[in-house]
C-alpha cells in the first residue's frame, strides 16, 4: 500500500469531495470506495452560512486522511497563502499544490509550481504537487523537496483517461522510489486500473464518481479497479507481441 511522507495509507484510491448530489451520497460513496484520502478545499462562506462547518463535521466522520488543495490558484502567492490557511484549518502539513497555468486546460504552471513547492517545503509543508508528466519538471520538484509526484492523466474533469501512457511509464521508470499518483482526468475504473498496472501507487479522482449517474456504484467500481490493477502489477504481466501465438497446444491435434 502507498506511503506518503511516512504515513501508510490502506488504499490506492484518493477521492475528491466536490460535486456530489448530496452529503449523504458523498459519505456513502466514500464508504464503498474504501478511499484512504479525501481532498478538500478552502473557500469563502456566504454571510452567516454554516456550510463549511457542516462539511467539516461530515469529513471528520469519514475517518480518512485529509489532503487540502490550492485549487483555482493561478499565482504562487495565491497558492502559498491558500496553503497556509488550509494548514491551520485542517491541522495538517499535507497540501495538494495546484498552480494553474492555463484557463482552458487547467494545466499546471510548471514554473510557478516549482517556486511554490520550494517555498512551502521550506515552510514545513509536505507537498503533493499536481503536475504534468514532464520529466524535467518532476526532477525539479523532487530537488526542491517533493516526496510525492501527482501527474495528470488528462485535464481536470475531462474523463479522458491516460493521455500519455509513454510519459507516465517513463516517469515511473525514472522515479522508482518516489510515490506516484495519477491525479485528474480519469473517467472510468478501467483507466484507474491501467494507471496502477503501470506501477503507479495510487489514483486521485473526483468528477468520475461524483458526476456518475450512480456515484456509489461508480465508487465501488473504482475500488475494485485499483485492486485489480495492483494484483496485475504484482503478477508481472506477459510481454505483448505483434504476432499471434496459439494458446491451445498444436501437438496432438487430429489430422483431419
Partner 1 sequence: MKIIVNGETLVSDAPDLGALLVELGKGDAKVATSVNEAFVPKTMRSAQALSDGDRVEIVAPRQGG
Among 6, 8, 22, 53, the residue binding partner 1 under the rule CB under 8 A is 53
Q: Could you tell me how many residues of this chain bind partner 1 (CB under 8 A)?
A: 35
Q: Give Cα separations from 186 to 13, 71, 108, 208, 236 (angstroms).
A: 12, 17, 17, 7, 24
As a whole number of angstroms, the distance between CA 97 and CA 126 comes to: 10
Among 29, 30, 37, 68, the residue binding partner 1 under the rule CB under 8 A is 68
DSSP 56: H
Rank residues 11 and 82 by Cβ distance to partner 1 and give the closer one: 82
105 binds partner 1 (CB under 8 A): no
Block residue for cell numbers 506518503: 4
Question: Segment 141-170, which members bind partner 1 (CB under 8 A)?
Answer: 156
17 binds partner 1 (CB under 8 A): yes
Among 32, 69, 121, 191, the residue binding partner 1 under the rule CB under 8 A is 69
Q: Is 28 helix (H, G, I), strand (E, B) or coil?
A: helix
18 binds partner 1 (CB under 8 A): yes
Q: In this chain, which stretch among 28-36, 83-91, 111-119, 146-154 interacts with partner 1, using CB under 8 A? A: 83-91
As a whole number of angstroms, the distance between CA 13 and CA 196 comes to: 10
With beta carbons less than 8 A apart as the criterion, state whether 200 and 150 touch: no
Q: How far is the CB of 240 from partner 1 (least distance, A)?
A: 34
DSSP 202: E
62 binds partner 1 (CB under 8 A): no
191 binds partner 1 (CB under 8 A): no
As a whole number of angstroms, the distance between CA 145 and CA 33 comes to: 31
Question: Nearest Cα to 152, choosing from 142, 160, 140, 141?
Answer: 160
122 binds partner 1 (CB under 8 A): no
> How many residues appear in the chain?
256
Among 27, 28, 31, 84, the residue binding partner 1 under the rule CB under 8 A is 84
Q: How far is the CB of 254 from partner 1 (least distance, A)?
A: 60
Block residue for cell numbers 510519459: 167
Q: In this chain, which stretch among 47-55, 137-145, 173-181, 245-253 interacts with partner 1, using CB under 8 A? A: 47-55
Number of Cβ within a 10 Å radius of residue 115: 18
Q: How far is the CB of 26 from partner 1 (least distance, A)?
A: 8
With beta carbons less than 8 A apart as the criterion, state whether 193 and 232 touch: yes
Q: How far is the CB of 25 from partner 1 (least distance, A)?
A: 12
Residue positions annotated with a catalytic role: 96
Question: Nearest Cα to 35, choosing from 220, 234, 236, 241?
Answer: 220
Among 1, 51, 173, 231, the residue binding partner 1 under the rule CB under 8 A is 51
* Residues of the shown chain interacting with partner 1 in the complex, contacts defined by CB under 8 A: 16-20, 39-45, 48, 51-53, 55-56, 59, 68-69, 71, 77-78, 81, 84-86, 88-90, 156, 184, 206-207
Amino acid at each position: 500500500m502507498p506511503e506518503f511522507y511516512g504515513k501508510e495509507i490502506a488504499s490506492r484510491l484518493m477521492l475528491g469531495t466536490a460535486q456530489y448530489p448530496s452529503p449523504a451520497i458523498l459519505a456513502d460513496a466514500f464508504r464503498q470506495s474504501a478511499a484512504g484520502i479525501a481532498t478538500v478545499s478552502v473557500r469563502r462562506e456566504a454571510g452567516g452560512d454554516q456550510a463549511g462547518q457542516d462539511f467539516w463535521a461530515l469529513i471528520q466522520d469519514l475517518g480518512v486522511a485529509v489532503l487540502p488543495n490550492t485549487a483555482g490558484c493561478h499565482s504562487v502567492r495565491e497558492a502559498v497563502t491558500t496553503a497556509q490557511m488550509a494548514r491551520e484549518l485542517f491541522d495538517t502539513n499535507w497540501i495538494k499544490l495546484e498552480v494553474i497555468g492555463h484557463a482552458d486546460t487547467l494545466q499546471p504552471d510548471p514554473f510557478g509550481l516549482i517556486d511554490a513547492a520550494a517555498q512551502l517545503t521550506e515552510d514545513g509543508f509536505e507537498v503533493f504537487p499536481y503536475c504534468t508528466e514532464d520529466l524535467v519538471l518532476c526532477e525539479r520538484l523532487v530537488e526542491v523537496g517533493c516526496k510525492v509526484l501527482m501527474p495528470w492523466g488528462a485535464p481536470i474533469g475531462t474523463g479522458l483517461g491516460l493521455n500519455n501512457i509513454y510519459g507516465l511509464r517513463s516517469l515511473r521508470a525514472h522515479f522508482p522510489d518516489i510515490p506516484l499518483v495519477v491525479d485528474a482526468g480519469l473517467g472510468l475504473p478501467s483507466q484507474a486500473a491501467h494507471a496502477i498496472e503501470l506501477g503507479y501507487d495510487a489514483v486521485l479522482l473526483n468528477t468520475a464518481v461524483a458526476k456518475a449517474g450512480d456515484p456509489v456504484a461508480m465508487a465501488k467500481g473504482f475500488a475494485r479497479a485499483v485492486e485489480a490493477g495492483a494484483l496485475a502489477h504484482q503478477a508481472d504481466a506477459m510481454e505483448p507481441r505483434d504476432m499471434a501465438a496459439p494458446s491451445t497446444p498444436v501437438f496432438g491435434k487430429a489430422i483431419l
